[in-house]
Structure 1
Amino acid sequence: MKFTEAQLEAVFATQLEQEGYKHQLGGSISRKEDEVLIESDLREFLLARYRKNSITKNEVESIILKLKTLPASDLYESNKEFMRMLSDGFSLKREDRSQKDIWIYLIDYSKENQNTYKFVNQLEITGTQKRIPDGILYINGIPVVVFEFKTAIQENTTIHDAYIQLTVRYQRDIPELFKYNAFCVISDGVNSLYFTI
């Protein structure tokens, strides 16, 4: 069976919902057009996860600021630094210097898996140009996977077009999104590929 792009998006959204990923349309997320983090999800995760450490709202905001200020101008280095933080965690210096530093993980890797998972489609992001990725998989408000779909119905459109769209146009026009990117997924409903930036 061959899919249109909209049908393919719907299939991925349904499959991900069955795996516990809440589906949300991009237009329903409250944020500035140039922001790619869902800060409210990240804030809630950090406050809940480190409540026993008495993490403060200011400390949470400092973590969010640390992520947001990774420079998009050197995408390779920023992505490498972010992946290190995502996989290994990092130390948070406390506001109250008499308190012990906290080792922060942005994802709950424990069996409890207290993460917030979302699949967001058609999120408008404004960088040097406005771009609308077909789908983004968020974990705790962090856009870790970007999806781009192409229809297998049109002969002049191929999965390679999705690859070019992500690796050339999107990285050039909305590099902010790729600072946090672990994987890109492209599919035409028949062929699916994944890669890192």
Structure 2
Amino acid sequence: MSIYNIVCKELVCISFYNEEAYEKSLMELFQNLGYNSFYGPNIERDYKNPLYMDDLEILYNINNHLDKKAVDKAIELIQDWGIGSLEEKNNKFMEYLQNGINVNYWSNGKEESTYVKLIDYDNLDNNIFTVINQWTVVDNEIKIPDIVVFVNGFPLVVCELKSPSRENTDTSEAYNQLKKYMQVIPTLFNYNAFCVMSDMSISKAGTITASEDRFMEWKTTDGSYESTQWADFTTFFEGIFDKKRFIDILKNFIVYSIDSTTKIKILCAYHQYFAVNKAVNSTLKAIDNDHKAGVFWHTQ
């Protein structure tokens, strides 16, 4: 029996279940979702670069209708951040991720301009989904996040885990660890879509600007049934990281709210995600039928 199945079926043994075992079980869960899985220390790379460069090559396939020089320029731009706050850099990257990156390049003595896509939102299988544990990053300090989720080489989600068997250790400590990472290895978070904190009994997701109380659970895998189990970490990870749903969240359900003084990054809650998609589908059907889409009540 796999570690993943043991964890799911033997929660009574939680007192003997340490952080390393939990990390391994989550890695297997991601594999079951179709993600490539690697152990960070086995990958030869520049630890100062948080991107997974091997997967980044997929951008040439996604943009195979473009001049290779355009993709070269895009890869150059997404590694050249200049000055600015973490929020400013992250907001810029989210714009690139959701809408593509505008590049200017020279071809045959003429300056050209085009957009390069970082994710193929129309063709799921054109993207590479990878999860890596123990991903070392060297910046102001050397840190090793527990699990990092990549799409096309971009480290979009950082997962910080805490042992479900250790006393005086919980998701609050995981949250504090994530905030510490943002201070000492900020280059990793330039590319961050959202973060996850989990001690198996509680799993929540939130953005780089979110306070701990704004990190949210995810209580359903497909919107048809809401789980209220105490230790249902599988619902959380399968609910968010199903490939199709994951890139839908990346494209349509993360936004920055910006005023003159602050930048607040917002990630949808699970009930908002399913309600909005249901409303959109209902509206599209109504266009072709009785033109009655119904009423959508929501809280903000």
> TM-score by structure 1 length?
0.91
Q: SS state of the match for residue 78, structure 2? A: helix
Q: Scaled by the length of structure 2, what TM-score is found?
A: 0.61
Equivalent position SS for 1:93: strand
| Structure 1 residue 102 displacement after superposition | 2.7
The equivalent residue for 2:127 is 115
The answer to whether the 8 A contact 1:72-1:176 is kept is no
The offset of 1:61, in angstroms, is: 3.1
CA RMSD, Structure 1 to Structure 2 (Å): 1.7
2:200 aligned residue (186, 189, 195): 189
Corresponding residue SS for 2:65: helix
Question: Aligned-pair distance for 1:76?
Answer: 0.5
4+ residue stretches of structure 1 with deviation over 4 A?
97-100
Higher-Rg structure is: 2
Structure 2 residue aligned with 1:51? 64
For structure 2, the residue ranges without an aligned partner over 5 or more in a row are 1-10, 209-300
Q: For 1:195 and 1:72, how far apart are their aligned partners in 2? A: 25
Paired residue secondary structure (1:95): strand
Query: Which amino acid in 2 is paired with 1:129?
Result: E
Whether 1:40 aligns to 2:54 is yes
Amino acid at match of 2:49: E
Query: Paired residue for 1:102?
Result: 114
The alpha carbon displacement at 1:99 in A equals 7.5
CA distance in 2, matches of 1:153, 1:112: 38
- The partner residue of 1:83 within 88, 94, 97 is 94
Cα distance in 2 for partners of 1:116, 1:175 equals 24
The whole-number CA distance in structure 2 between the counterparts of 1:99 and 1:71 is 23
User: Aligned partners of 1:46, 1:109: CA distance in 2, in Å?
Assistant: 13
Moved more, 86-95 or 17-26: 86-95
Number of the residue aligned with 1:24: 38
Specify the code of the residue in structure 1 equivalent to 2:142.
K
Does the Cα contact within 8 Å between 2:71 and 2:116 map onto a contact in 1?
no
Higher relative contact order (CA 8 A, sep 6+): 1
Could you tell me which runs of 5 or more consecutive residues in structure 1 were left unpaired when the two chains were aligned: none
Say if 1:144 and 1:112 are closer, same or farther in 2 by CA, change over 3 A.
Answer: closer
